[in-house]
Structure 1
Amino acid sequence: MSLPYPRELMRSLEFSAELCNRRREGLLTTAASLRDLCATWTFPGAGALSKADADATWSHLGTIEALWDQDRDAVAVMVNRIFSEAGARPHLVRHDGLDWHLHGLPAEAPIADAIVVNAAMAFIDLVRADDTARCKRCGDDRCERMFFDQSRNRSRRFCSTTCQSRTNVAAFRARHS
């Protein structure tokens, strides 16, 4: 059974998590690395991304992470603030082989604003469905990676099998020592 959300919503949340995770881990430090990540995820408008664009994007990542970590009501307030500050004007578009989907800003908008508005737009449906709890942090105490839980019963606790195994091995050793 698949989740009741559009594929582009799930991709937007996964892209937002990957962006924040890579930046926090020191793997996303230059305009070129941001351009590459945007190209990998087919995020539009990143072709001519400058250092100033990257710096502006980095300044929005705290807001995206806060969306991830807040309760539903706080997320709704934040989404409205993001839309207001960026002058969001949702509209339907087709591009890069993707069918009709929503963009919050026109194509010529600054990439940093487009990224944070894209994240906020993805949260709209989660707020409406009271499902923001699918946006999680890894259950391994040594990891802070963000991920979108796509499991049917919202039971995923770890960002990867590596973190899951590391936690299970540590628990086993603690029980048997």
Structure 2
Amino acid sequence: MSLPHPRELARTLEFIAEVCNQRRVGTLGSATSLRAFCAEWRFPGASTITKADADATWAHVRTIETMWDADRDTAAVMANRVFRECDARPHLVRHDGLDWHLHGLPAGAPIADAIAVDAAMAFVDLVRVDDTARCKRCGDARCERMFFDLSRNRSRRFCSTTCQSRTNVAAFRARAGQL
């Protein structure tokens, strides 16, 4: 059974994918860059990010990437582990013009834990509706970017039109060379 994904869930998964993608390519390597990135995405607590917070976030990124690539059952086990390790305490909140939604940790919790718990809560939603297959890697062999597939039939294969075009051009050239 697949249900439409609320905007908050999609935004969380897009944020999580971008954190991992930007970290992998080296544009998120410091507390300053993580602070700016989180502020751009309006992630709570962004203004107080320290070097220790950034280092803890990078440690969580490895777990999040593994969860992204995992099958449904493994993602469920990993989400539960994140909840235990971060002492998650889900509660409903309303803020910044957003209606009621879940936060996994109280305000002021370490940002690294907040990012990891948000990722785990998003995965829990996908596990519950058996839709973890929407968490994908780009189909371009030269790109490993993560993306959340919001297409109706889960058919998106590339992170961007650039990667799609590059793959199509390479396939065309390969076919033309065989003629």
**Structure 2 length-normalised TM:** 0.96
| Cα displacement string for residues 101-123 of structure 1 (whole angstroms, at most 9, x for unaligned residues) | 10000012100000000000001
Whole-Å separation in 2 of the counterparts to 1:84 and 1:96: 28
Whole-Å separation in 2 of the counterparts to 1:94 and 1:42: 14
Aligned residue runs from structure 1 range 111-126, under 5 A: 111-126=111-126
Whole-Å separation in 1 of the counterparts to 2:4 and 2:140: 28
| Cα displacement string for residues 34-77 of structure 1 (whole angstroms, at most 9, x for unaligned residues) | 11111111110121110110011011000110111000000000
Name the residue aligned to 2:110: 110
Whole-Å separation in 2 of the counterparts to 1:35 and 1:100: 25
Matched residue of 2:52: which SS? helix
Matched residue of 2:12: which SS? helix
Matched residue of 1:32: which SS? helix
**1:88 and 2:92 aligned:** no
Whole-Å separation in 1 of the counterparts to 2:79 and 2:53: 21
Structure 1 ranges of 4+ moved more than 3 A: none
**Structure 1 length-normalised TM:** 0.97
Which letter does structure 2 place at the counterpart of 1:105? L
1:125 Cα offset (Å): 1.2
Name the residue aligned to 1:42: 42
Whole-Å separation in 2 of the counterparts to 1:6 and 1:93: 16
- CA RMSD for the aligned pairs? 0.8
Name the residue aligned to 1:24: 24
Which letter does structure 2 place at the counterpart of 1:34? L
Name the residue aligned to 1:54: 54
Which letter does structure 2 place at the counterpart of 1:56? A
Paired-residue identity, %? 77
Unaligned runs of 5+ in 1: none
Aligned residue runs from structure 1 range 58-73, under 5 A: 58-73=58-73
1:97 Cα offset (Å): 1.8
Whole-Å separation in 2 of the counterparts to 1:96 and 1:43: 11
1:21 Cα offset (Å): 0.2
Which letter does structure 1 place at the counterpart of 2:118? N
Which letter does structure 1 place at the counterpart of 2:135? C
Whole-Å separation in 2 of the counterparts to 1:103 and 1:36: 21
Whole-Å separation in 1 of the counterparts to 2:31 and 2:130: 35
1:30 Cα offset (Å): 1.0
Matched residue pairs, number? 175
Whole-Å separation in 1 of the counterparts to 2:46 and 2:10: 20
Which letter does structure 2 place at the counterpart of 1:136? K
